[in-house]
Structure 1
Amino acid sequence: MASKGGGTGGRANKPGASSSRKGAQKGSGGQRRQGLEGRGPTPKAEERTGHPAARKARSAAKRGAAANAANTRSAAGTRATSRPVRRTPGKGEAEQVAGRNSVVEALRAQVPAKALYVAQYIDSDDRVRESMKLAMEQGVPLLEAPRHELDRMTNGTLHQGMMLVMPPYEYAHPDDLLEAVFAAGDTPLFAALDGVTDPRNLGAVMRSVAAFGGHGVIVPERRAAGMTAGAWKAAAGAGARLPVARAGNLTRALEAYKKQGVMIAGLAADGTVPLHDLEIATEPLCLVVGSEGKGMSRLVSELCDVTVSIPIASTTESLNAGVAAGIALYEVGRRRAEARG
């Protein structure tokens, strides 16, 4: 008689019966046990690969990382230079000069030009012959065009069979002007125009800045004169030698100059210091010239380290912006020449 617990009994031979012996057994043997175990809670939509929410989250993360990197670079640049992040000033607009007198005067002033258009079968005179001669000497291409084509290109302006095409002017950045002067070891002298809209005044100021040892002119981007043919002609050649910078915000540009040690002096009829007493003339200086009627804007006036007056006869109300700038720049240049000995 078999003892309990140790024998197999007759049940060991039945199919499917369990056995205490080691070795191969029928059934899965626990091989699919892991497949039967639970996989935990369902992942969030943002964590599922390929899910729209996950793609959206990745895009947001990339935008955030890019913004953080840009902010870091901006902060580093501000700490290093103590000025706003530089923005490319861009170019002015292309300009057309039409009419025989205007064309020949522009070419005499060596205004940069892309092409000189001359109408077919034009009635030649002294202005036409001189214009064509100057264009050839300056390397400006001469192009012949039907008169109706010139009518279309000038939008109906009276062109008298001649049109000069100027390329867009490439303005400098105010910071670049200052850096170039410091790199050359010079004492900066600039003129900034606030509210001056006549390009002839801009040209006149450029001419005075160049004549009295200045380094450039700064104009605002909006509501200000630009480098048009009128400015080139009034500059009388100074436009080819003197850079013009365009500031998106004149007040901020002047603030950046002040942080770099440049004194800001504004011309004003009620200025606190007469021009002949301007002791800071030999220091790094930016002379601000306002419009003839309104003068400087309030924000620019408040930013000035000093306001300067030009004594004039009581019968004269004010001076033209170009004339006032020329007088002030002459005095600054005179003082600087005396200081150099």
Structure 2
Amino acid sequence: MDSNEKKAEFIIGRHPAIAALKSQQAINKVFIQENNASDALREISQLARKKKIIVSTVPKSKLDLLTDNQNHQGVVVAIAAFEYASLDDIFACAAKENEDPFFLILDGIEDPHNLGSIMRTADAAGVHGIIIPKRRAVQLTSTVAKTSTGAIEHVPVVRVNNLVQTVQSLKDKGMWVFGTDMNGNDFRKWNAKGAVALVIGNEGKGITPLLKKECDEILTIPMIGHVQSLNASVAAALVIYQGFTSRRS
């Protein structure tokens, strides 16, 4: 492995690779597994060559090495570092759709699979942008890209230094901010019409106290089972879709 490959970010898997090649993502190189003539890999190779991207046919062992033995499905795409958006960018996304802004604020999500899954839901539900902190939280990585199955190419992500200050700024712009916690109002009654931001907390600790104080309302998911918690991405999906439903009712 040369020094450039060691520094590269990788997108792995067939669907994420196709999504990246159809997007504006800056791609350095595509690695295709030799002796694999599947239709999906043939499509990936054709897409890459149309964009004049180098395609390298390599043994499976090479792909295993590049991906630390993850399930790469015979393809690895070496990309430039993931680009982050600005707050102005995500407001512009809402304006382009002629819609009131609908943002997600992720307070310390640490698992890249959770972030990727949340991005898939956000894309499906018409969320205009996701805001994450620069520290003590997962950033955009190849694992996030793979789990998002292409949504990373369509949902802009903003990194900020301070979530509390960012929320205060959003409220100054007329947005309503809703948090999620074990104690709050039933999320099924949430009316998300207008300009809204939804805060999803850390997998174990939830929303930090200072950020919770800035929320206009706290939403909770009623549960009657023995396990009184849900995976962060599952909980996010439920509340996001309540927002989606109420905004289109």
Quote the Cα distance in structure 2 between the aligned partners of 1:261 and 1:179: 15
Q: Does 1:211 align with 2:121?
A: no
Identity %: 28
Which of 196, 218, 223 is the aligned partner of 1:307?
Answer: 218
What SS does structure 2 have at the residue aligned with 1:239? helix
Quote the Cα distance in structure 2 between the aligned partners of 1:147 and 1:202: 28
Runs of 5+ in structure 2 lacking a partner?
1-6
Aligned pairs for 1:88-107 within 5 A = 94-96=8-10, 102-104=12-14, 106-107=16-17
* Cα gap change, 1:157 to 1:292, in 2 (>3 Å): closer
What is the Cα deviation at residue 126 of structure 1?
5.2
Partner residue in 1 for 2:164: 251
TM-score norm. by structure 1 comes to: 0.59
What SS does structure 2 have at the residue aligned with 1:258? helix
Runs of 5+ in structure 1 lacking a partner?
1-92
Q: Does 1:135 align with 2:45?
A: yes
* Cα gap change, 1:104 to 1:207, in 2 (>3 Å): closer
Aligned pairs for 1:220-235 within 5 A = 220-235=133-148
Quote the Cα distance in structure 2 between the aligned partners of 1:242 and 1:298: 27
Partner residue in 2 for 1:292: 203
What is the Cα deviation at residue 267 of structure 1?
0.9
Aligned pairs for 1:124-203 within 5 A = 124-125=35-36, 130-131=40-41, 133-138=43-48, 139=51, 140-143=53-56, 154=66, 157=68, 163-182=76-95, 185-203=98-116
Structure ranking higher in strand proportion: 2
Q: Which amino acid aligns with 1:169?
A: F
Partner residue in 2 for 1:266: 179
Quote the Cα distance in structure 2 between the aligned partners of 1:132 and 1:188: 39
What is the Cα deviation at residue 261 of structure 1?
0.7
Q: Does 1:116 align with 2:30?
A: yes
8 Å Cα contact 2:34-2:59 kept in structure 1: no
By relative contact order (CA 8 Å, sep 6+), the higher-ranking structure is: 2
What is the Cα deviation at residue 284 of structure 1?
1.0
The root-mean-square deviation of aligned C-alpha atoms, in Å, is 3.1
Quote the Cα distance in structure 2 between the aligned partners of 1:205 and 1:109: 17
* Cα gap change, 1:249 to 1:132, in 2 (>3 Å): farther
Q: Which amino acid aligns with 1:134?
A: I
How many residue pairs get aligned? The number is 233
Cα deviation digits, residues 212-266 of structure 1 (max 9, x gap): 2221111111122222222222223322222111112222111110100111101
* Cα gap change, 1:182 to 1:334, in 2 (>3 Å): same
Q: Which amino acid aligns with 1:243?
A: P
* Cα gap change, 1:267 to 1:147, in 2 (>3 Å): closer
What is the Cα deviation at residue 273 of structure 1?
1.1
Q: Which amino acid aligns with 1:168?
A: A
* Cα gap change, 1:261 to 1:162, in 2 (>3 Å): closer
* Cα gap change, 1:293 to 1:163, in 2 (>3 Å): same
* Cα gap change, 1:142 to 1:284, in 2 (>3 Å): same
8 Å Cα contact 1:117-1:144 kept in structure 2: yes
* Cα gap change, 1:330 to 1:131, in 2 (>3 Å): same
